[in-house]
A and B are shown apart, each in its own frame.
Chain A
Amino acid sequence: MNQKEKKIVALAAAFALVFGVAPAANAMHIMEGYLPPKFCIMWGAISIPFLIAGYLSIKRTLSKHHRSITILAMGGAFVFVLSSLKIPSVTGSCSHMTGTGLGAILFGPSAVSILGIIVLIFQAILLAHGGLTTLGANTFSMAIAGPFVSYGIYKLCKMLRVNKYVGIFLAASIGDLFTYCITSVQLALAYPSENGGTIASAAKFLAVFAPTQLPLAIIEGILTVVIIIGLETYAKSELTDLGFMNGGEN
């Protein structure tokens, strides 16, 4: 088998894995009014330092490289698009992606918290999706925890000299999945199950969320790679400004 054939077989195997997953149910942001007030305040408070760091990080990047504002806008728009597309999943229900991986890779994880919270506020107010009371918790899972994991994986792949695109794919998709792990934990902390406590409860939520999200995470990874290829081709100077091109080459 040559390289290409190996890739095709691996791809087919991945497909089989994805579609072999047993049907369960679905999920997304934590619904309005579903977290006790205590937890709403706690998650909100935890999110605030990240948001401030994000604001400062964006300010710093923009003052250094004013032109990169276009890329930042695109990163934000990417979150907008991906989190608005509800996609049918193998479990027979819909869920949507986060789109935060792109911003995390290009601008660093804290900057994405600002992009993410804009989208979350939009959805909470206009779409009754997520919610204002659960904004803190949702911000933490989608705009903070996910991007940080994405960024970590991207850096790790770079260190291990993994192919750049594979690294981006892994970063975006695992970050997406991790967002839902955090959502499960957040719900579990608020609703520990009677026998087994928080952990049993987390497992239950995770069983609901993870299978639905897995194929979507793969789509998110693919789309992130595609848009990075596009930017590399047409916006090389901006990416160089952001320090993405230099050292990023394999």
Chain B
Amino acid sequence: MAAARYTIRPVTSGDEAEVPVQARQRRRRHRLLVWAARAATLLIVIGGWQLFTTWKIVDPFFFGQPSGIARQLADWAEHGTEYGSIWLQVWITMKEALLGFAIGVAGGVIFGVLLGQIRFLADVLGPYIKAMNALPRIVLGSIFVVWLGLGTTSKVMLAGVLVFFVVFFNAFQGVREVDRNFVANARVLGASRLAIVRHVVLPSALTWIIASLHVAFGFAIIGAIVGEFLGAQKGLGLVIASAQNNFNPDGVFAAMLIIAILALTAEALISRLEQRLLAWRPQAPSEASLT
């Protein structure tokens, strides 16, 4: 009797047309459930935080309060920060992060492809690049501030350096992993070295490069914020630093929230770009996982 309970029931009533319909229903149900669980998680964390601080189980002086963060954001939107409007701070930080990102990606791809293609260069420069990568590059931030002043340039540089290494190592590896059959085939067909890079090496390495961009943009924002933290006249990092100095945890968290929103937006844009550029692939893995 017990065995009968485990017989596999036919999922459909035998009609093929019902298969996609049922699959779609199942998918919709799944999605609904995921979103409900996400909302519940958020509610528990934020609600718990609010309640625990209201009941003084944890001290709102150190941990801030969701309601306080909301008030802080409203206040910034209305009156601005002590360094000008909040939009200006966002714009400055974004500008630094984006410029640094662009410089770092360009440099990383160019050096990655060059060193990946030219063995001699890779052998000569390899140890130095590894050594530089091993340095805690955040420290460079203070040096850049000394060299380049309190303006945006020092932050762009820091963000660029952080991004460079992430992209460089991926581009280098991607170039090294190019299928040798592809290269041999292109050579037999009469391709010049430059044509091989353009038609074979770069597109092949693109999967690796784009994968690194997700991490790289995070680093660009870190670079910009830390740079501002170390010394700046404007920007979200400076807002955080001054909130911290005024014992205002709500301010720190509010700025963090803004940064998180910016980072998520950028992440979504990069995913878009990824889907566009890698449309030839059977299925982008990013589609299947975190979206």
Q: Do A and B come from one complex?
A: no
Chain A residues within 8 Å of B, Cβ to Cβ: none
